[in-house]
Amino acid sequence: MELAIFLAVAVVVALYTIGVYNGLVKLREAVKQAWANIDVLLVQRHDELPKLVETCKQYMQYEQETLERIMKARASVFQAAGSGDVAALGAAETSLRSGLGQLFAVAENYPQLKADESFQHLQARITALEEGIADRRELYNSSVNLNNVRVQQFPDLLVAKAFSFGTAQLLEFADEQKRDVNVKALFG
């Protein structure tokens, strides 16, 4: 009788452990997939930015500093995304978004550039990619949050530690990215 009770308890514990393990694997893979979705858009934007800069160079001879800052930030974003360094990506994204905001604002001073069909297409494409990245960042952070809560909750924490499941890092941007944009200052 005692053996039957012991076996029943062992089976319940084993099934519970398997269920928790599989749930943790699912969450870990959701975080990886969400990161991969961000990476796809970052690569697409990475490919579009040189085209935008080249289009702008034709008109904006006196704005080289702005264009160079964008290309430097572009390289930083690509490097951080490639290495999976979420904190560095957040900082590089802040720099890139600031540069793009300044570029689009400065473009207002160049009517020929604003009227250029290639510039309009690239501006629309990059804006759409920015919106996609923001949406994917929200999904990524949601996946990270679900994962982090689960690996820290008792009793799942016991299985998570036993099988080396860890927390993931949220993708956060600098405070200046979260504030309202001062459009007047960009045009000044």
Confidence (pLDDT) at 56: 87
Confidence (pLDDT) at 83: 85
Confidence (pLDDT) at 32: 94
Is 76 exposed, middle or buried (CB count within 10 Å of its CB: 0-12, 13-18, 19+)? middle
Is 93 exposed, middle or buried (CB count within 10 Å of its CB: 0-12, 13-18, 19+)? buried
Domain CATH number, residue 29: 1.20.1440.20
Q: Is the distance from CB of 50 to CB of 71 less than 8 angstroms?
A: yes
Confidence (pLDDT) at 118: 86
Residue 127, domain extent:
2-187
Compute how many other C-beta atoms are within 10 angstroms of the C-beta atom of residue 68.
12
Dmax (CA) for the chain in angstroms is: 89
Confidence (pLDDT) at 174: 66
Closest CA to 139 of 43, 40, 37: 37
Q: Per-block average pLDDT, block size 10, for the chain (188 residues)? A: 91 94 96 93 90 83 80 89 85 87 84 84 90 92 96 93 93 60 41
Query: Count of domains in the chain?
Result: 1
pTM score, whole prediction: 0.76
Q: Which two tokens stand for residue 31?
A: 């975080």
Q: Is the distance from CB of 31 to CB of 147 less than 8 angstroms?
A: yes
